[in-house]
Structure 1
Amino acid sequence: MASSSPLVARTLPALQRSLETLRKRHASVALVPTMGALHDGHISLVRLAKRRANKVVVSIFVNPTQFAPHEDYGSYPRTWKTDAAKLATEGVDLIWNPDAALMYPEGFATSIHLEGPATAGLEDRFRPHFFGGVAIVVAKLLAQVRPDVAIFGEKDYQQLKVVTQMTRDLNLGPRIVGAPIMRERDGLAMSSRNLYLSPEQRKAAPALHRSMKQVVRLLRQGEDPAATLKAGAKLITDAGFKLDYLEARHAETLAPLSQIGREPGRLLAAATIGTTRLIDNMKI
C-alpha cells in the first residue's frame, strides 16, 4: 500500500502548485482522465501510467457535455471516497477533481469541430453530441495538466482514435497511449455502467463478447464478411440485446475495411440490454 494519500486539487491555482511540486527534478507526468466510479479497468490505466512516467495524475470529472438530455448524467455513479482510497493504494501522486462550474464557467462558448474518426458512423451515429463533449473536456484537461503522456482505455476505441487525432492536429503535446481492455472472468468488458445491470442482465451480458469472438474467428478464417456480421448480429439480438451496430473497420482510420486481413482491422459493437448500453471491440 502507498505510504501517503495523493494530493487533491479542486481549483486551478491548487492544480498548478501541485504540478510544480511534482515536476521538480524534471519528473515526467502521466494523466489518466476518468469520470470516477473506478473499477479494475481504470486501475490498469493507472498502472500503465506509472510505467510510462515518474508521476501520475488522475482526473475525476463527470463531464456533462458528453451526455445527451435523455442519458444518465444525473444518475452516473459518483463514488469519491472509494475512488480516492483506490488511487491512494495505487500510489497516485495527484487527483484533479474540478467541478462543472470551473470547467464550464458562465458564458463558456467554445467548441471543437471534429471530422475523421469522429464521423465514422459508429458512436457518432447514435450519440451525435458525444465526441464534441469529449473533445472539449480532454483538450481542457491536457491544457490544465500539461502531461507528457495521457492514458485512455481501448474499450472506448473510437474515443481513443478521436482523442489521438485531435491531440496530433492541435499540437496539444502529450503522447496518447491506449491501454488494453480489462474483462471480467466471463469476458464482459469492465465498465462503470455494468453497475446498472440486473442479475439476469449481468448473466446475459457476456453473450456480446462471445458473439464478437465468434465473428472474429470466422473473419480470420476467410468467411464472407457480410454474412458473418449478419450472423453475429443475430447471435447478439437473440441473447436479448438491442443492437446499435456490429462493424468491421480499419483499426486506425475507422473507415470500412476493404479486405479482411490485408489491413489492420477492429470489430466494434454497441448494444443495449435492459436500459444499459454496452460497447466492446476486438482486434480482427
Structure 2
Amino acid sequence: MELFSEKQPLRVYLSKLKAQNKSIGFVPTMGALHKGHLSLIKKASKKNDIVVVSIFVNPTQFDNKEDLLKYPKTLEKDLALLSEVNCDIVFHPSVEEIYENNVSSNDFKFDGLENQMEGKFRKGHFNGVGTIVKTLFEIVEPDKAYFGEKDFQQLQIIKKMVEKHKINVKIKGCAIYREEDGLAMSSRNVRLTPTQREAAPFIHKILKKVKKKFKTEEISKINNWVEKKFKEHPILDLEYFTIANEKTLETLETKEFSKKNRAFIAVFAGKIRLIDNIQLK
C-alpha cells in the first residue's frame, strides 16, 4: 500500500499505472473509517485494477465549526484497516496541499438539488462538497468513484456535477451499510453516548414503518405520524423528515408511483446529527 500526502507525486505514480492500462477505482473519505467505507473499497477492488482511497477532512463543507473540530481523526487506525483490504494507494493531503492559500468553496449550480433537505439546513455545504470532490477527481482521474447511499443527496449532486462539468468518471452508488440493529454506519456514531447509541436505531425502525405505510396511507398522514413519534421520544430530536422524488429530490405532496421515491430523515442525538433514508415502493 502506497501512501501519498502531495498531489504531484501521486499524479506521477498514477500516470505510470494508467500507461499500463490499469483501471482506477476511487473512494473519497474523511477518515474515521468503518465497515461501510470498507464495503465501498471491496466493491471498487472487484471492478478495478487499482483502488485509491483519500482521507481528508474537508473544512469547506462544514457549516458548524464545532462539528469540524470534533470530527474524529484516526489516521493510524484507518491505515491499519486499509492495509487489511484491497487498498493500493492512500492519499492523505493537508488542507494547505489541497487549498493552498485559499480555503474557500467554488460556487456550484446543481439544478436545484442543492436547495432541498440538507441544503436548507447546512448553508454552503454542497459548494464545499462539490469543490473537494471535483478537486480530488482532477488529481486522481479515476475511471470509477464509489459513494454510499446514506448521503443520497450528496450522491445525486456529485452525479449532477460530473454531468455538468463533463468529468470522465462513472459514479457508483452503494447500498447503506448498517449495524446489526439497523443504525446506518457513520463516522459520527463514535461520538454518541451509550444512551444515545442505544436510542439511535429508532431512526431506521421509523423508516421501515414509513415504507409499509407508504403503500396505503397519504403522505401528509405519514409526515404527521413521524413528527408525533419523535416528539414523544425522550432522546432523539427530529430536524426534518420528507418524502421526495429520487431524481429531483423535491418533496412530494402526493404519491408518484410511476417514479422512484425515497424517505429522508435528519435527527439530533444531543449535538450529534444523524441522517438516513430508505427507498419507497
TM, length-normalised to structure 1:
0.94
Once the two structures are TM-superposed, the CA of residue 112 in structure 1 deviates from its matched residue by 2.8
Once the two structures are TM-superposed, the CA of residue 110 in structure 1 deviates from its matched residue by 5.9
- Superposed, 1:250-261 pairs within 5 Å as 250-257=245-252, 258-261=254-257
Alpha-carbon spacing, 1:69–1:186, altered in 2? closer, same or farther (3 Å): closer
- Superposed, 1:95-110 pairs within 5 Å as 95-107=90-102
Once the two structures are TM-superposed, the CA of residue 123 in structure 1 deviates from its matched residue by 0.2
Cα distance per residue 1:101-141 (max 9 Å; x no partner): 01111146661322335334200111012101000000000
- Superposed, 1:137-152 pairs within 5 Å as 137-152=132-147
Instruction: For 2:126 and 2:246, locate their aligned partners in 1 and report how far apart those are by CA, in whole Å.
Output: 18
Once the two structures are TM-superposed, the CA of residue 259 in structure 1 deviates from its matched residue by 2.1
2:279 alignment partner, one of 271, 274, 283: 283
Once the two structures are TM-superposed, the CA of residue 261 in structure 1 deviates from its matched residue by 2.2
1:92 and 2:84 correspond:
no
**Matched position secondary structure for 1:223:** coil
Aligned length: 278
Aligned to 2:7: 12
Instruction: For 1:237 and 1:145, locate their aligned partners in 2 and report how far apart those are by CA, in whole Å.
Output: 46
Once the two structures are TM-superposed, the CA of residue 17 in structure 1 deviates from its matched residue by 2.4
Contact 1:34 1:59 in 2 (8 A): yes
- Superposed, 1:124-135 pairs within 5 Å as 124-135=119-130
1:238 alignment partner, one of 229, 232, 238: 232
1:183 and 2:178 correspond:
yes
TM, length-normalised to structure 2:
0.95
Aligned to 1:273: 269
Cα distance per residue 1:221-276 (max 9 Å; x no partner): x2111111210222233223221111111111112234242210010000101111
Once the two structures are TM-superposed, the CA of residue 24 in structure 1 deviates from its matched residue by 4.2
Counterpart AA for 1:218:
K
Once the two structures are TM-superposed, the CA of residue 22 in structure 1 deviates from its matched residue by 2.9
Counterpart AA for 1:264:
K
Cα distance per residue 1:133-178 (max 9 Å; x no partner): 0000000000000000010110001000010100111011101110
Contact 1:9 1:18 in 2 (8 A): no
**Matched position secondary structure for 1:280:** strand
Contact 2:113 2:248 in 1 (8 A): no
**Matched position secondary structure for 2:241:** strand
1:63 and 2:58 correspond:
yes
Instruction: For 2:79 and 2:156, locate their aligned partners in 1 and report how far apart those are by CA, in whole Å.
Output: 28
More displaced 10-residue stretch of structure 1: 152-161 or 47-56: 47-56
Contact 1:58 1:95 in 2 (8 A): yes
How many percent of aligned residue pairs carry the same amino acid? 36
1:225 and 2:219 correspond:
yes
**Matched position secondary structure for 1:155:** helix
**Matched position secondary structure for 1:156:** helix
Instruction: For 1:79 and 1:70, locate their aligned partners in 2 and report how far apart those are by CA, in whole Å.
Output: 19
Cα-Cα RMSD: 1.5
Instruction: For 2:199 and 2:144, locate their aligned partners in 1 and report how far apart those are by CA, in whole Å.
Output: 37
Once the two structures are TM-superposed, the CA of residue 52 in structure 1 deviates from its matched residue by 2.1
Aligned to 2:151: 156
Counterpart AA for 1:237:
K
1:51 alignment partner, one of 46, 50, 66: 46
- Superposed, 1:191-202 pairs within 5 Å as 191-202=186-197
Contact 1:211 1:236 in 2 (8 A): no
For structure 2, which runs of at least 5 residues remain unmatched after alignment? none
- Superposed, 1:104-123 pairs within 5 Å as 104-107=99-102, 111-123=106-118
